[in-house]
């Protein structure tokens, strides 16, 4: 539709949600009638949002819409007709199947209070999962008149209240297993080529790999959710760094550690929690020298005096050691960065 509008020069031919919906409904395949009509409607709605973003070049991830692959290990659908009835999740089904509703039991359904919105149901690693978003009234957190600064690092997060380990021992064990399974699958693909994916041992190993990836994601999200809730509960103003994470990941030195530390996810959930609970989030400038600046005298290290990932080669200091050669101030580098961020309030 878009190509025709460009060739003919007619703006009225440009596609929109209404035109695409009529086109896809008119050409509906037989297998689609076995499922709820809302699957197609909501997919078209998502396509419409991606189409609008395609014409907004100011977005950081601007580009053509990326469609989900049929070969992706995670497949699912969305529906806005689901209900919670008698402790069960009730999904709608087409009437031609003989019944209209399909009930699923799950724990904790009775304790949920709120309006159920569009849910997502997906299958991953042979198991079915459902994401149930509820609209609830959020109570504002009480004012504490306390402020804090957060310095994110690979493997840990420092703030005025202490230190949070984002890479605990159970995560390290899971990463070792993931590395082992990935090597096994790579060897099978080298030996058997395309036939490897049809092998039973390959499928079992891939299932174990997907299971461990799921465990890793659950542990990481649990750590971040609990820590951000603690921050918005105990502090009224929070200062964090405005890091260019994508640019930092371009270097091979710490790209894997940056990916596992989830800097972007931490900022995302902290931002919406501050908005919800009426707390203030302050972003330090991208070029603010929190690592190189002395929190006592304000001297900023430059050139050969800078502290890098391997410390300072000129003076033989470690990466977590900060020594100011102007005033003699000596402390942990992460604690010094927290104090510099705290000075922005």
**Pair (216, 104) in one structural domain:** no
Query: Residue 38's pLDDT is what?
Result: 84
pLDDT at 245 over 70: no
- Asked if 144 and 234 count as a contact pair (C-beta separation under 8 A), the reply is yes
Closest Cα partner for 188 from 201, 175, 169? 201
The predicted model gives 32-58 an average pLDDT of 84
Do 152 and 280 share a structural domain?
yes
Same domain for 114 and 209, yes or no, is no
Query: 235 and 200 in one domain?
Result: yes
Range of the domain at 10: 2-34
pLDDT digits (tens, 9 = 90+) for 66-124: 777 887 878 888 888 888 888 788 887 766 666 667 778 877 766 777 788 898 888 87
Residues in the chain: 345
Residue 280 lies in a domain: yes
| Measured distance CA(136)–CA(267) in Å, rounded | 23
Mean pLDDT throughout 339-344? 87
Poorest-confidence range of 136-140, 240-244, 312-316?
312-316
Q: Please tell me whether residues 154 and 275 are part of one structural domain.
A: yes
The mean predicted confidence, pLDDT, of the chain is 83
Q: What is the value of pTM for the model shown?
A: 0.74
> How many Å is the maximal CA-CA distance in the chain?
81
Lowest-pLDDT choice from 158-162, 212-216, 327-331: 327-331
Percent of the chain scoring above 70 in pLDDT: 92
Q: Domain count for the chain, please give it.
A: 3
135, 159, 185 — which closes off a domain?
135
Asked whether the predicted pLDDT for residue 253 surpasses 60, the reply is no
């Amino acid at each position: 539709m878009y190509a025709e509008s460009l060739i003919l020069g007619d703006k009225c031919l440009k596609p929109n949600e209404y035109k695409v919906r009529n086109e896809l409904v008119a050409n509906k395949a037989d297998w689609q009638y076995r499922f709820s009509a809302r699957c197609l409607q909501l997919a078209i709605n998502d396509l419409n949002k991606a189409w609008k973003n395609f014409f907004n070049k100011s977005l950081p991830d601007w580009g053509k819409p990326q469609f989900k692959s049929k070969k992706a290990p995670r497949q699912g659908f969305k529906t806005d007709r689901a209900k919670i009835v008698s402790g069960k999740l009730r999904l709608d089904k087409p009437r031609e199947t003989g019944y209209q509703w399909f009930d699923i039991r799950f724990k904790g359904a009775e304790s949920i209070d709120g309006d159920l919105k569009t849910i997502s149901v997906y299958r991953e690693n042979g198991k079915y999962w459902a994401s149930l978003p509820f609209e609830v009234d959020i109570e504002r957190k009480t004012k504490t008149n306390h402020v804090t600064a957060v310095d994110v690092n690979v493997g840990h997060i420092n703030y005025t209240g202490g230190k949070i380990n984002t890479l605990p021992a159970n995560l390290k064990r899971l990463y070792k297993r993931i590395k082992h399974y990935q090597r096994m699958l790579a060897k099978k693909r080298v030996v058997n080529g395309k036939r490897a994916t049809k092998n039973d041992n390959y499928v079992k190993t891939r299932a174990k790999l997907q299971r461990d990836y799921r465990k890793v994601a659950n542990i990481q999200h649990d750590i971040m959710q609990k820590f951000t809730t603690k921050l918005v509960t105990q502090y009224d103003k929070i200062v964090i760094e405005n890091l260019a994470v994508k640019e930092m990941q371009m270097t091979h030195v710490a790209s894997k550690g940056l990916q596992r530390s989830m800097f972007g996810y931490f900022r995302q959930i902290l931002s919406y929690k501050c908005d919800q609970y009426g707390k203030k989030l302050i972003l330090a400038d991208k070029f603010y020298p929190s690592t190189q600046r002395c929190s006592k005298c304000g001297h900023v290290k430059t050139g050969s005096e800078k502290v890098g990932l391997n410390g300072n080669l000129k003076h033989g200091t470690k990466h977590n050691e900060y020594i100011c050669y102007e005033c003699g101030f000596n402390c942990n580098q992460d604690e010094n960065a927290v104090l510099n961020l705290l000075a922005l309030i």
